[in-house]
Amino acid sequence: MRYAEFSEASIRDLRARKTNLAETLWHDVSLKRSAFESCDLTRADVFRTPLLGIDLSTCDISGIIVSSTFRELRGCIVGPEQAVQLAGLLGIQVKED
């Protein structure tokens, strides 16, 4: 489903597992009771799509595109390595010992 566009959709009960969603558009999407497991969300554009409660910890979210306020990411669940990547969006540099 690479390059698919879901903009302005209301999506309920989505279960995506091992799905290629790279470079997809998710502008103004309402995601209810949805789950992503081991999906490729590389450079996915989630502008104005709240990811509150969505577990992305097993997904590749490299280069994810969000608004300048990063509000889309509030409340989403990510793994430690992903958190380091997302810190880069905030301009934070993580120093390794």
In this prediction, residues 41-48 reach a mean pLDDT of 98
In this prediction, residues 40-53 reach a mean pLDDT of 97
The pLDDT of residue 66 is above 90: yes
**pLDDT number for residue 94:** 81
CA 32, CA 51: separation in Å to the nearest integer?
Answer: 10
pTM metric for this prediction: 0.89
Q: What's the sign of the alpha-carbon dihedral 61, 64, 30, 79? A: positive
**pLDDT number for residue 76:** 97
The pLDDT of residue 59 is above 90: yes
